[in-house]
Amino acid sequence: MSSCVTIKDVALRAGVSTASVSRVVNNNQNISESLRKKVMDAVEELGYVPNPAMAAMAARHFYRESNAEGTPIAYVVQPGDLPSDSLLSMHYKAFKARATAMGYRTDLFTVDASVRPEAFTRIIFHRGMAGIVLDRLFGDLSFFNKIDWSQFCAVSMERRLLTPSFDTIRPGIFEGCRKAWLEVTQRGYRKVGFVLFHHVYSDEQRHLDDEVRDAFCAYAMQQDPPALPPFVFKGSKMPYKAPEGFAKWYESHRPDVLIGFNSTVYHWLKELGLTVPKEIGFVSLSIRQPEEMALTGNMENLDSVAFAAAERIDYLFRRGYQGVPKIAQQIIVANSWNEGKTLQATRR
C-alpha cells in the first residue's frame, strides 16, 4: 500500500466525488452497495491508506448528519469475556455511556484464534474507528504484537500489556494494599496474614501480582510487629475451594485477620469452618460485584475506570496520537473503602 495515493486519486479512479470516497471509507451507512463496491475496488487497486485521525474526523462529521450514534470506537474483548459477564458488563456499559456522551459509538469486537491480525487491522481501519480499547486482556497476547498499531490510538483497561504497551487505566492496587494494612492495624489486629497470588500464564498478570507483593513488602514487612509469612498460591486462576497447603498454613500461623486478593479467599476461610469476623477478620483487596458488598475492603470503582478510559481515548484521538507510545502512561483510579461485615470495628 502506498502512502502517496490520495483521496482524489481514488475518486478519479472510481469516477465519483471525494465526498463519496470519504463517506465510504468511513463506513457511512447511507451509501448504496454499488457505490461502496466501486469505491472499495479503487481503494484496493490503488492501495489507498487514509490518515486514520482525519478519516475518523470526517466520519464524525457524517455520523452527526446521518447517524446519531457517533464515530465508532472498537471495544476489544476475548472469548468468554462478553457483556453477559457481569464484570465486563459494568465496564462496557460505563464506557459506552461516557463515549456516547462525547459523540462516539462503541462497537464490540471479540478476538479469538480464528481472527487473523491482518484481517482485524483491515476491518478496524475500513470501519473508520477513532481508536481501540483493550479490556482486561489475559493469557496468550501474541495476537496484539502482530497488529499494525501505527494506524490507530489505543488504551488498555485494568491490565497493562507489556508489549505493545499502551496507556493503561486501572484501579490502584498498591494504594489499596496500604489502605487495607492501615485499617486492620488501627483496629487492633496484630497477627496479619496475607494471601498472595502468583499467576503462571501471563507476564501482564504477574506484573499485577508483583505490585501486590511490593505493597506487602513495603508496608506489612516494615511494621512492628511485621505481617506473618504470606500464603502464596501459584496457578492460572484462584480456586473456589481452598488449595492444598492453605489449612496447614493457617494452623501454623493462626492469623487474627487475613488480607486476600478477592472474595475467593473468604470462601477458603468458611471452608475451614471459621466464623468471620468473630474468629478471624477478612479484608478483600478487590470488591467488584454487588454480591460482594458484605465484604470489608477496597471497592474497585470500575465505572470510574471505564469513564477515564473513554476520556483518554478521546484525548488521544483529538490530538492525532497514533501507534505505540514511546512512554506509556498509567492512570490510577482510586479505590473506595467498603466497610462491609467481615472486619470488627475494634479487635476484641
Phi, psi of 218 (to 5 degrees): -70, -35
Q: pLDDT, tens digit, for every residue of 67-119?
A: 456 889 999 987 655 545 566 677 888 999 999 999 899 988 888 777 788 88
Range(s) of the chain covered by CATH 1.10.260.40: 7-50
CATH class of 7-50: mainly alpha
Mean pLDDT of 13-31: 74
Give the pLDDT of residue 216.
63
Residue 146: pLDDT band with limits 50, 70, 90: confident
More confident site: 221 or 333: 333
Say whether pLDDT at 237 is over 60.
yes
Q: Does 293 have pLDDT greater than 60?
A: yes
Question: Using 50, 70 and 90 to split pLDDT, how confident is the model at 334?
Answer: very high
Q: Rounded to 10 degrees, what is the CA torsion of 43, 44, 50, 56?
A: 80
Lowest mean pLDDT among 87-96, 179-188, 207-216, 313-322: 207-216
Q: Which residue has the higher pLDDT, 60 or 130?
A: 130
Overall average pLDDT of the 274-295 stretch: 93
- Say if CB 305 and CB 333 are below 8 A apart: yes
Give the closest residue to 167 by CA, choosing from 158, 154, 150.
Answer: 154
Q: Output the CA–CA distances (angstroms, integers) from residue 292 to 109, 249, 278, 343, in the order listed.
A: 29, 25, 19, 14
In this predicted structure, what is the pLDDT of residue 8?
A: 85
* Full-model pTM: 0.74
Chain-wide mean pLDDT for the chain?
81
May I ask the CATH class of domain 71-171+305-333? alpha beta
Q: Could you give the CA distance from residue 70 to residue 146 in angstroms, rounded to a whole number?
A: 28
Architecture of domain 173-299: 3-Layer(aba) Sandwich (3.40)
CA distance 221 to 148: 44
Q: For the chain, give every residue range classified as CATH 3.40.50.2300.
A: 71-171+305-333, 173-299
Give the percent of the chain with pLDDT over 90. 36
pLDDT of amino acid 139: 65
For residues 125 and 39, give the distance between their C-alpha atoms in angstroms, rounded to a whole number.
15
1-11 confidence digits (pLDDT tens): 445 678 888 88
**Strand bridging mode 330-333 / 281-287:** unpaired
CA distance 54 to 61: 11
pLDDT at residue 19, as a whole number: 76
Examine the pLDDT at 322 and tell me if it is beyond 70. yes
pLDDT at 67: 46
Confidence band for 239, pLDDT divided at 50, 70 and 90: confident
- pLDDT at 325 (0 to 100): 92
Dist CA 115 CA 144 (whole Å): 11
